[in-house]
Structure 1
Amino acid sequence: MEHQVKDFLHFLQIERGLSSNTLVSYERDLKSYCNHLKNTEQIEDLNHVVRGNIIEFLAFLKDQGKSSKTIARHIASIRSFHQFLLREKITDHDPTVHIDTPKAERSLPKVLSLDEVETLLDSPNLQKPSGIRDKAMLEILYATGIRVSELIELNLEDVHLTMGFVRCIGKGNKERIIPLGNHAIMILKEYLEKARPKLRSSKYRTDALFLNHHGNRLTRQGFWKILKGLATKANIQKELTPHTLRHSFATHLLENGADLRAVQEMLGHADISTTQIYTHVTKTRLKEVYSKFHPRA
């Protein structure tokens, strides 16, 4: 089974151009699925899998307390895997045909208030090169709404300060051109002129925009550590993840009258229904404001 999973992941990477993070997600889901199948007596190979085996695995996930969103993701991974096996003539049937995907609960994304964003953006120490870098990263995230994975993959050639935009490659290798605000442009200029040359190492030559203290491209884990430190310094009590600034970017744009389609394009959502979750956030915030300030609420 491991061999077939490996071939499938190779197909996703080469033929469909999926990101490394998505591939890791597929691999994790299919590993737990195959481990479950190995403990099923009737299963000698993947051609023996029937609908009932998959239902048992989903029940196992539910018993473990997995959310409907997680279970739905597992079903999508398993379905794609079995369709691949059938197409490659490794199996002669698709056991996922009549399996329904549970409707995932759509939890509203956590967002920062404008004051909290300002406090966070002001928290880096601009007396240090690393502080100027951290400020530049935060400003780009809030100015563009790009994902952290897209942020750390930015190269020098992707930032066009004179024209005021950044170019990033998102999911499915789709290119997006997103405008930069004045604050982001100003701190990026300072970073490129003063801070990046000091962070750059003579040992390594890299076109990466954001560098760590070794002079290499900053990693997701490195950014996450930086963000946690800045959140503590800013005394932000809300749960803060690398995606929070992306959520805040979209919510604040819509609250100020931005067009939903424009926000969809900047976020790189393939389906506008994904972007519409932010309209629910703005409605919820409007209700909170009404309840707090209307004299007869």
Structure 2
Amino acid sequence: MSTGSDDPVRAFLAMLSAERGASANTLAAYGRDLKGATAVIGDLAGADRAALQKLGQAWGDLAPASLARKASALRQFYAFLQDEGLREDDPSGALPRPRARRPLPRLLSHAEITALFELAEADAAHGDPVAVRLLALLELLYGSGLRATELVSLPLAAVPRDAPFVTITGKGGQQRLVPVGTRAGKALTHWLDLRVAGGRYVFPSPRGGHLTRVRLFQLLRDLAARAGLDPEKVSPHVLRHAFATHLLEGGADLRVLQTLLGHADIATTQIYTHVDASRLVTLVNQRHPLGVTQGQVRIGG
């Protein structure tokens, strides 16, 4: 591509617009980041690794997400310069690489969960198959912590009638056994009794195949609105978070929770420990020798 400009930054932004279809907001954000870097080190196109290291110092007080965005803009800029033959080397390895913190999951309180279930149970009590299906879906999301894809694509063969568990094939084709509680088991049995025969999925689609994730999302949002909750707060993934959070609050072991959720790395499961800090402090106060000894300072006040 011929830039047709003596200003490398302007040429880079033009490329983003023409070749990648970047929006005006994206272009403006990249422009601000590159302009800010120029104010610190001068000529960006000719900057060396030592100059870029100064940016890491200047950006030291930024939030990890802001730092990552600025560094990304510069990395793309230097990759562009190499592609255009304007530089032979890429000094961007000297830029900081912040480890972005995993965002905390959105949470539903016990009261909000209760509101969802009370409405779903009232609807299902009339025996309408659509309502019975929704209650079964809700029970498996919150009661067993299934991912949306795992739930909607659950095959009939994975649901033994005589055992309180289902066999889930999760990410990477890994299989795990997931317990199905008494409540969820009753809801699932009720749905299977009403389900139209045929097909290989527990939750079939009228058009063939299985219920889609989009439709599951829509059903939950509608239920939340009718239950007086903010629909934006409710999704299949949020219910999975609630399953994990409330189990941890109840004393579940983190390794057990990892198995139930199908996490390959326990670091993924540890995101839930933040929600139960008060219980952990209480546990230390009650069980640690300094916490239970009369006259000793108690942790947490």
TM-score w.r.t. the length of structure 2 is 0.60
Indicate which of 261, 265, 280 corresponds to 2:274. 280
Matches within 5 A, 1:195-214: 196-197=195-196, 206-214=199-207
Indicate which of 232, 242, 246 corresponds to 2:240. 246
**Residue correspondences, number:** 217
Secondary structure at the counterpart of residue 210 of structure 2: coil
Q: Which of these two proteins has the greater Rg computed from alpha carbons?
A: 2
Q: Give percent identity, aligned residues only.
A: 40
Match of 2:105 in 1: 109
Quote how far apart the aligned CAs of 1:176 are: 1.3
Match of 1:226 in 2: 219
Any conservation in 2 of the 1:109–1:281 contact (CA below 8 Å)? no
Any conservation in 1 of the 2:249–2:279 contact (CA below 8 Å)? no
Q: What is the root-mean-square deviation of aligned Cα atoms in Å?
A: 3.9
Q: Which moved more, 1:117-126 or 1:96-105?
A: 96-105
Secondary structure at the counterpart of residue 154 of structure 1: coil
TM-score w.r.t. the length of structure 1 is 0.61
Distance (Å, rounded) in 2 between the aligned partners of 1:284 and 1:239:
24
**Gap regions ≥5 residues in structure 2:** 1-11, 17-26, 34-63, 76-88, 282-300
Indicate which of 109, 112, 121 corresponds to 2:117. 121
Distance (Å, rounded) in 2 between the aligned partners of 1:161 and 1:69:
52
RCO (CA 8 Å, sep 6+): is it higher in 1 or 2?
Answer: 1
Distance (Å, rounded) in 1 between the aligned partners of 2:243 and 2:170:
17
Amino acid of the residue matched to residue 278 of structure 1?
Y
**Gap regions ≥5 residues in structure 1:** 1-35, 41-56, 79-92, 288-296
* Shift in alpha-carbon separation, 1:131–1:286, aligned structure 2, 3 A: farther
* Shift in alpha-carbon separation, 1:60–1:130, aligned structure 2, 3 A: same
* Shift in alpha-carbon separation, 1:94–1:151, aligned structure 2, 3 A: farther
Match of 1:150 in 2: 150
